[in-house]
Amino acid sequence: ATNTSNGTTSTTATNSKKRPLSTVAAATVAANPAASNHPPPPRKGKDGEPLSEKKLRRLEKNRLSARECRRRKREATENMERQINLLEGENLRLRLQLQVGEEAEESIHQEQQKLTEGLDGLLKSGASESEIYAKIEEYKEKFADYGRDRRSAIEFHLRNVERLLMPTQTTSVVLATLQGGQDPTT
């Protein structure tokens, strides 16, 4: 091997490529473990001069900074993927809830239509006034704002709201801890 003017080493006939001195030294250390006792030769810049300590520290700092940047980017990507999964799940839940709501609305509409047709049939068939009155009362009880079904639905939703507004066990423990840590005179 011979040194050239630009600080690289030219190898023998088996490998005619030019490699930087540090690469040759690394290959020598890998091939010969006994050579690892010697410190590697100093790194050289493009001009063939050894790099200053300041430049070496800056290069190392840049390497560490790039590694940290890649780690943060990987974490951000993972967080975004988790957020996407959560939002997709929430979207699916809301779509199903909307579908159930639309199906319930359609069912109510069909039931109203059926009762209206039943009342119309009674009127056309010449039913007695008491039969017509009973059908109207059934209709009112079912679909009035304060009818049986509406009261039942309102009670159901109020129970759910009340349950949702109750603090969880974790919240209760935290509140008790916070109150215990305060001055009782306040």
Helix H or strand E segment including 10: strand 8-10
The pLDDT value recorded for residue 11 is 45
Q: Can you state the percent helix, strand and coil of the chain, rounding each to 5? A: 75, 5, 20
Query: Are 45 and 58 in contact, with CB atoms under 8 Å apart?
Result: no
The pLDDT value recorded for residue 17 is 47
The pLDDT value recorded for residue 75 is 96
- Residue 15: C-alpha distances to residues 9, 10, 31, 36, 171 (Å): 11, 9, 16, 23, 71
Instruction: Output the pTM of the full model.
Output: 0.36
Helix (H, G, I), strand (E, B) or coil at 29: helix
Query: What residues of the chain score a pLDDT lower than 70?
Result: 1-42, 145-147, 181-186
pLDDT in tens, 26-46: 555 555 555 556 666 667 777
The pLDDT value recorded for residue 105 is 81
The pLDDT value recorded for residue 49 is 80
pLDDT in tens, 78-107: 999 999 999 988 888 888 777 777 887 888
Contact residues for 15 (Cβ-Cβ < 8 A; gap 6+): none
Query: Are 9 and 3 in contact, with CB atoms under 8 Å apart?
Result: yes
Taking the CA atoms of the chain, what radius of gyration do you get in angstroms?
41
